[in-house]
């Protein structure tokens, strides 16, 4: 497997895609290069910090001169780009021109012969105006094409292959195509035809297609959303589950003299000041830019547009690292009412999907920026857990310092939840947190016995840790005020929570790795409680439910079991060897 998941936030994730020409940090965007018209050269792009580019095999294939040159030199020399290159399969041209005169195997072999890092199996695009019958035919052909090519994929050439998901806006077909495509041994997937909806700013429909595809695909594979290149839409699509993007927008807009910004576009002529600090905008004045001869002006505008796009992608990754992606989505969604509409719609419609993917607790306070924030997964999940465990939607007093009920900044003075006003002692507080965290009323009483010593910070007055008979059971983490089990706490938890709840199951080699290297690689995970969400505290056990260690789940349970790269659990306390 070529993809490693690093971290979750909102419905998105941070990852690394490993290719023959190096690593790509995801989410990432591939600027599309037209070999016939290099507005910005691939070499310049590499120097600007572009990680990965995409070009079209149809254009190269149809032009004997280009074709010959590429076959002779290989794609990387031909384009003069040192990083990874994705080669598109020409299906879009099929879509636009009615048909192309190559078949799936011919296109597969051609792609392979020019040695890209990522190839795309030939699909049959479902156009937005097709009947259901015709759309069904497109997924049938797309799947048949993929099945024909798969036996010819060779590990030796190191090319990663993408299986495209078609079905248009027939969401049942999208789901079916995603499920079937997931069964094939491919590296990536792409959502085929959102382009018409993107042009119409119908972001709701794109979100529907994206979520349905993502939810039905193998969880450990990255998903590429074709054609979504407007910078201000990227945070939303990442938050809904896309890992990879491509776009020719930087060049198409430059041709129309459009100056992109992270919050909307302006025509160059309409500007009175430059509103960007990129190398183009700091080397030229607006007047100089306006007066340049058209070719150079187009090139510089394209460069500026690219800087804006890749900077937004970097910003998205940084916001994920800080657990703040929703806040960026919120800001960008106010660029256009259609995007805001899609955000509010998706938060409500895909609540369950998002609750499964978003972090259990976050390092940063929850920013309540609008009434619709009540649909955000951190709040909706916490409140439904309170209701399930305590039988009422009132948040118990014992949770008053626990995320998200305390780590909270709001634009109004009214709290979006009802907090119980009752005096509680320290023991009641930690037991309530345990009930909430391990989803069962009364479990706190079992795992934190009477007589437990509750240590308090002298500086803050907050609870720091829980000891029993001089053994450290739990630490209360400062930023989210949840229980972090130590190995002794893990032992008590194991006795009180039935298998396989709150468990990650490691293979024999996994146990060896935990003992020797204090880590649990993904390939050694053989089971995981399906009810867990990223960020929850877990018990790491072997197949016979012997406790090996305690830790924190970083992936979704599905990803943890399927992934073969990365470290789905952060291992903390490890049991003494003789007890394993």
Known catalytic membership, residue 88: yes
| Interface with Zn ion: number of residues (CB under 5 A) | 5
Choose between 304 and 376: whose C-beta lies nearer to Zn ion. Answer: 304
C-alpha to C-alpha distance for 353 and 346, rounded to whole angstroms: 10
Closest separation in Å from C-beta 520 to Zn ion: 45
Instruction: Report angle CA 156, 214, 351 to the nearest 5 degrees.
Output: 155
Tell which positions 250-269 bind Zn ion, by CB under 5 A: none
Query: 88, 123, 243, 529: which is the annotated catalytic residue?
Result: 88
Tell which positions 274-293 bind Zn ion, by CB under 5 A: 276, 278, 280-281
Instruction: Rule CB under 5 A: say whether 306 interacts with Zn ion.
Output: no
Closest separation in Å from C-beta 288 to Zn ion: 13
Q: Using an 8 Å Cβ cutoff, are 571 and 518 in contact?
A: yes
Query: Between the CA of residue 347 and those of 207, 269, 337, 469, what are the distances in Å?
Result: 11, 38, 15, 46
Choose between 118 and 306: whose C-beta lies nearer to Zn ion. Answer: 306
Choose between 258 and 580: whose C-beta lies nearer to Zn ion. Answer: 258
Stretch that binds Zn ion, among 21-29, 273-281, 329-337, 424-432 (CB under 5 A): 273-281
Order of all β-strands in the sheet with 537-541: 525-528, 503-506, 537-541, 547-553, 569-574
Residues 6+ apart with CB under 8 A from 86: 30, 52, 53, 54, 55, 116, 117, 118, 119, 120, 162, 246
Choose between 281 and 347: whose C-beta lies nearer to Zn ion. Answer: 281
Choose between 276 and 424: whose C-beta lies nearer to Zn ion. Answer: 276
C-alpha to C-alpha distance for 119 and 91, rounded to whole angstroms: 13
Tell which positions 413-472 bind Zn ion, by CB under 5 A: none
Choose between 279 and 442: whose C-beta lies nearer to Zn ion. Answer: 279
Closest separation in Å from C-beta 45 to Zn ion: 15
| Residues facing residue 8 across a β-bridge | 13
| Residue in the block written with tokens 């009802």 | 418
Stretch that binds Zn ion, among 28-36, 270-278, 310-318, 468-476 (CB under 5 A): 270-278
Instruction: Rule CB under 5 A: say whether 48 interacts with Zn ion.
Output: no
C-alpha to C-alpha distance for 136 and 20, rounded to whole angstroms: 36
C-alpha to C-alpha distance for 33 and 148, rounded to whole angstroms: 28
Closest separation in Å from C-beta 304 to Zn ion: 4
Burial 384-397, CB ≥16 within 10 A → b, else e: ebbeebbeeebbbe
Closest separation in Å from C-beta 279 to Zn ion: 8
Instruction: Rule CB under 5 A: say whether 304 interacts with Zn ion.
Output: yes
Closest separation in Å from C-beta 280 to Zn ion: 5
Q: Give the residue numbers marked as catalytic.
A: 88
* Binding residues vs Zn ion (CB under 5 A): 276, 278, 280-281, 304
């Amino acid at each position: 497997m070529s993809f490693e998941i690093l971290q979750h936030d909102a419905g998105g994730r941070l990852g690394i895609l490993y290719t023959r020409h190096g690593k790509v940090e995801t989410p990432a965007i591939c600027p599309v290069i037209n070999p016939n018209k290099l507005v910005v050269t691939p070499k310049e792009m590499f120097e600007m910090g572009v990680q990965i580019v995409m070009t079209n095999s149809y254009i190269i294939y149809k032009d004997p001169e280009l074709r010959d040159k590429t076959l002779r030199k290989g794609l990387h020399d031909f384009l003069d780009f040192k990083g990874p290159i994705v080669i598109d399969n020409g299906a879009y041209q099929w879509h636009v021109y009615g048909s192309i005169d190559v078949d799936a195997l011919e296109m597969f072999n051609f792609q392979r012969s020019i040695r890209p890092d990522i190839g795309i199996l030939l699909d049959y695009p479902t156009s937005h105006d097709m009947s259901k019958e015709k759309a069904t035919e497109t997924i049938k052909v797309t799947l048949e094409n993929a099945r024909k090519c798969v036996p010819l994929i060779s590990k030796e050439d190191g090319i990663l292959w993408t299986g495209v998901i078609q079905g248009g806006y027939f969401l049942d077909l999208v789901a079916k195509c995603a499920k079937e495509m997931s069964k094939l041994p491919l590296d990536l997937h792409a959502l085929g035809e959102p382009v018409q909806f993107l042009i119409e700013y119908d972001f709701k429909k794109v979100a529907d297609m994206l979520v349905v595809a993502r939810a039905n695909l193998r969880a450990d594979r990255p998903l590429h959303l074709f054609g979504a290149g407007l910078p201000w839409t990227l945070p939303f699509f990442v938050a809904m589950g896309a890992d990879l993007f491509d776009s020719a927008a930087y060049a198409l807009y430059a041709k129309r003299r459009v100056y992109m910004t992270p919050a909307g576009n302006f025509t160059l002529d309409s500007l009175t000041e430059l509103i960007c600090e990129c190398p183009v905008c700091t080397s030229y004045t607006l007047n100089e830019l306006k007066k340049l001869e058209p070719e150079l002006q187009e090139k510089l505008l394209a460069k500026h547009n690219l800087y804006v796009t890749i900077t937004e992608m970097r910003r998205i990754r940084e916001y994920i690292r800080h657990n703040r992606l929703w806040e960026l989505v919120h800001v960008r969604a106010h660029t256009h009412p259609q995007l805001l509409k899609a955000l509010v719609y998706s938060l409500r419609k895909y609540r369950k999907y998002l609750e499964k993917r978003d972090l259990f607790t976050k390092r940063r306070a929850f920013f309540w920026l609008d009434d619709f924030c009540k649909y955000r997964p951190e709040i909706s999940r916490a409140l439904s857990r309170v209701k399930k465990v305590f039988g009422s939607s009132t948040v118990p007093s014992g949770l008053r310092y626990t995320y998200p009920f305390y780590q909270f900044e709001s634009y109004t003075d009214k709290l979006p939840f009802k907090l119980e006003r009752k005096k509680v002692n320290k023991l009641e507080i930690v037991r309530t947190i345990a009930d909430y965290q391990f989803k069962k009323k009364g479990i706190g009483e079992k795992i934190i016995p009477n007589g437990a010593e509750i240590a308090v910070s002298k500086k803050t007055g907050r609870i720091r840790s829980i000891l029993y008979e001089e053994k450290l059971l739990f630490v209360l983490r400062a930023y989210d005020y949840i229980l972090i089990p130590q190995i002794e706490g893990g032992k008590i938890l194991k006795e009180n929570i039935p298998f396989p709840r709150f468990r990650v199951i490691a293979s024999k080699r996994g146990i060896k790795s935990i003992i020797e290297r204090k880590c649990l690689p993904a390939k050694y995970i053989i089971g995981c409680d399906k009810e867990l969400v990223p960020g929850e505290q877990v018990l790491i056990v072997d197949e016979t439910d012997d406790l090996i260690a305690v830790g924190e789940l970083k992936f979704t349970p599905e990803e943890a079991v399927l992934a073969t790269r990365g470290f789905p659990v952060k291992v903390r306390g490890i049991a003494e060897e003789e007890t394993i």
